[in-house]
Amino acid sequence: MKILFLGDVMGRAGRQAMTGRLTGLKAAWKADFCVVNGENATSGAGLSADHAKGLLAAGADCVTLGDHAFDQKDMLGFIDSEPRIVRPLNFAKGAPGRGAQVFEVRGKKVLVAQVLGQVFMKRPFADPFSAIETVLKTHPRGGMVAASLIDMHCEATSEKMAMGHFCDGRASVVVGTHTHVPTADAMILPGGTAYQTDAGMCGDYDSVIGMDKEEPMRRFITGMPKGRFSPAPGEATLSGLYVETDDATGRATRVEMVRDGGRLSASGP
């Protein structure tokens, strides 16, 4: 299985890059399945129903969310009607939607699940490790599913790395999202799980983590806000991870960082 994962889509720049480039990348790399984190696609805060439809039409086979899952209120009603959107497993009790979903790909089953970390996050969320444990037990890699991907959405690199080791040998891919900066540690862990601490964002890197520089810099320098944050409008880099897995075992056999377009140096399979 050839899996492409792309990190947090940031505002209009990220959406436009997805629309203009994702289909070509999937074709060039012969990707069987593409997961995109879309939780910042609408004005940098959440994902609207219309923008979710746009990401799916652009070539995403699954869209994951995050702590801003329901910042756009229409997602509350839309998510139950769209099984290709996955919100965090350990979100608030009673939240609509699903935190894990199984997809059919080339006659094989692929699991996608997402959990939110607890360290440095603004809101308290349930334990992500016990939440993902239940899913992994019921969807064994190389058994119930040919491949499985876990999106670990959180601030702390230590918590993301702990989740990678926790899932090693049981998931095909564990990849971090949320901090918008790609880490240089793409690797295959001893148990055959592809891992990267953060996939980075799909947005304009001439920015402060995707936001136009002026307002965040003012707040850092003066401590005083003057306006609202707005996503940077320049050309986006599509950032993420490319993984190949063995269908029989679910083990990762190849992992490559992905960077396409924009300001970052190019990388890919």
pLDDT at 168: 98
- The verdict on residue 38 lying in a domain is yes
What is the percent of the chain with per-residue pLDDT over 70, rounded to a whole number?
Answer: 100
For residue range 36-53, list pLDDT tens digits in order.
999 999 999 999 999 999
pLDDT reported for residue 38: 97
Q: Which residue in the list 68, 139, 153, 178 is annotated as catalytic?
A: 68
pTM of the full structure = 0.96
Range of the domain at 149: 2-260
Beta bridge partners of 113: 100, 150
Q: Which CATH number goes with the domain that contains 234? A: 3.60.21.10
Evaluate if residue 93 carries a pLDDT over 90: no
**57-88, pLDDT tens digit by residue?**
999 999 999 999 999 999 999 999 999 999 99
Ramachandran quadrant class, 94 (left: phi over 0; alpha: psi -120 to 50; beta: rest): left
Strand partners, 238: 260
| Residue 267 in domain | no
In a domain, 265, yes or no: no
Active site residue 153: no
Buried b (16+ CB within 10 A) or exposed e, 152-179: bbbbbeebbbbbbebbbebbbbbbbbbb
Give residue 80's pLDDT.
Answer: 96
Which tokens hold the place of 62?
């699954």
Q: Flag whether pLDDT at 123 surpasses 80.
A: no
Number of folded domains that form the chain: 1
**Residue 104 located in a structural domain:** yes
Whether the predicted pLDDT of 124 surpasses 80: no
Nearest to 126 by CA among 92, 79, 154: 92
